[in-house]
Copies of this chain bind each other. A is one copy, B any other.
Amino acid sequence: MAEGKPLLRSFVEVPRDSHFPIQNLPFGVFRRRGQPEGPPRPATAIGDFALDLAAVSAAGLFDGPLLSASPCFHQETLNMFLGLGRPAWKEARATLQKILSADEPVLRDNEALRKNCLVPMSDVEMLLPITVGDYTDFFCSVHHARNCGFIFRGPQTPVNPNWFHLPVGYHGRASSVIISGTDIIRPRGQGHPTGSAQPYFGPSQKLDFELEMAAIVGPGNELGKPIDIADAEDHIFGLVVMNDWSARDIQAWETIPLGPFLGKSFSTSVSPWIVTLDALKPFACEAPKQEPEPLPYLAEKNHINYDIPLEAWIKPKEQSEASVVTKTNFKHMYWTVTQQLAHHTVNGCNLRPGDMFATGTLSGPEPDSLGCLLEITWNGQKEISVGNSIRKFLQDGDEVILTGCCKGEDYNVGFGTCTGKILPSLP
């Protein structure tokens, strides 16, 4: 406690290493398991419990001016809440920190209400918390850009000249954004190995993960009205961990001249809890210095990233333990999420609440901080150990577990996990 202010604590017991202390309070959507399943409900996480926000709202505990009459927590997704903007988000956070705090009796001392609102995580199924209108994948780690350029185009011009002038990105597929835990069926498609005369069709032989994070958009903008970079932060609700599953053989053959398509669109997994920028504030850090200086529409006074350590683990089917295959950090990102947002709208493109901006693969500068197998195994030219197995790319039965957690002096602000297991392709 640098300031001597006592650490805020909840009456809900929160294990010391939990991702979800009262300082985090991320937003998600769950349903109760059982027969029948419960309806989808907005929620926050506290320790090993999910707090049902529809129940909190129905009990009249959201008593602030913006939320007391709002139906935003009686929805099946968070989109309405996201559209309300930061004042409502701050009001929700303040209310939740109050009613969950150790000193506040309203929930702590009301057993019936507690039973109705607080559900053990083991009794819930997490759902995709947003309807994704559009999903954009950026390409904002210079280390990833450099490695991909080298692997695909050779050592002469690893990073394309536009890269240092704008956040390069492309539209991804919104329909196949799925919640963590959903199985991934190995995609089939066309490949065309170098030297081969004809393309072939079959299951991808170079199935990969990409360790990314994604920003979730709050209030959007009208078509034709760009968002100034000074206002960009007000349009970003929070972050999730994302796995941009990639079939490298399909991608390599299809990608010229219009970019990635079926090599990506079979599935994109996101972690269930959206961690707000407000919760991440204590972990803000300077973003990499930009050289050349960005054009004025991309120049920002407050050029920050967040210090979010990230890890990717693989658990082969026949092993009981997962093994870490990379450790990297969100802070390596060259173009910030606010720069991404200002760039995305500068042509007049309209955003809507729930849109997703992915960072691109978050590779760091070190050999053990690369964010995908393409880079780690240099496109399958070398093998890595995963426990007592070896891998060039993902095999059937492999489970990939991505995780991110900001470690503070007194508490963590974590993202939980983003997982997916590879199932064999269709026959």
Contacts and interface: CB of A to CB of B under 8 A. Distances in A.
The main secondary structure of chain A at its interface with chain B is loop
Contacts of A166: 190, 199, 253-254
A176 interface: yes
Contact of A190 (B169, B198, B295, B348): B295
Contact of A162 (B174, B256, B267): B256
B139 A348 contact: no
Contacts of A220: 175
Interface stretch (A16-24, A89-97, A230-238, A257-265): A257-265
A1 interface: no
5 contacts: A133-B174, A201-B296, A258-B260, A262-B349, A265-B349
Interface string A137-178: 101000000001100110000001110011011111111101
B171 A350 contact: no
Contacts of A189: 346-347
Interface string A114-144: 0000000000000000000110010100000
A133 B177 CA distance: 12
A170 B259 contact: yes
A112 interface: no
Contacts of A347: 187-189, 247, 250, 262-263, 265-266
Given A174-B174, A199-B295, A426 B254 contact: no
A165 B187 CA distance: 18
Contacts of A162: 190, 192, 199, 253-254, 256
A160 B257 contact: yes
A332 interface: no
Contacts of A199: 162, 165-166, 295
A31 interface: no
A136 to B, nearest CB: 8
Contacts of A315: none
Nearest to A190: B166
A352 B168 contact: no
Interface in A308-355: 343-344, 346-352, 355
Given A162-B192, A266-B349, A348-B185, A258 B169 contact: yes
A139 to B, nearest CB: 6
B259 A260 contact: yes
B267 A175 contact: no
Interface string A184-216: 010111101000001101000000000000000
